[in-house]
Amino acid sequence: MTSITALRETYDSDFNFSDSCAPTSSKLELFKLPKEQILSRINICYPESSNQSEEKILDQELVTEEKALAESGSSSIHFLKKFIKKPVAFNSHLKREGIVLSINGDYFTARLTDLIKDAVDEVADFPFDEISDDDRALLEVGAVFYWNIGFRLLPSGQKERSSLIRFRRLPAWHRTEIQKAYKEADELADFFGW
Partner 1 sequence: MTAPSIFLQGMNLVLLGDFNPKIFQPAWFVSQNLIGENEAESVDISIISADIVIFTMDWLRVQVSRERFQLSTTQEPYYEMVRDVLIGTFTILEHTPVHSMGVNLDYHYRMPSIESWHGIGHKLAPKEPWAGILSKPGLTNISMQGKRDNNYSGMVNVGVAPSVKVIPGICINVNDHYEVDSPKNSLGCSEMISALKDVWPTSLKNASSISQKLLEII
Q: Please give the residue ranges that form the binding site for partner 1 (CB under 8 A).
A: 13, 15-23, 87, 89-92, 95, 97, 115, 132-135, 146, 148, 150, 153, 164, 166, 168-171, 174
Half-sphere exposure of 18 (CA within 13 A, CB side): 4
Which CA distances in Å does 44 have to 39, 77, 83, 194?
A: 9, 19, 7, 69
Closest approach of partner 1 to the CB of residue 168, in Å: 5
Closer Cβ to partner 1, 4 or 165, answer by number: 165
Q: How far is the CB of 1 from partner 1 (least distance, A)?
A: 27
| Amino acid identity, position 10 | T
CB of 90 to partner 1, least distance (A): 5
Tell me whether residue 1 or residue 170 sits nearer to partner 1 (CB atom). Answer: 170
Least Å distance, CB 85 to partner 1, is 11
Residues with Cβ within 8 Å of residue 152, at least 6 apart in sequence:
88, 89, 90, 159, 160, 161, 162
CA nearest neighbour of 64 among 21, 139, 2, 9: 9
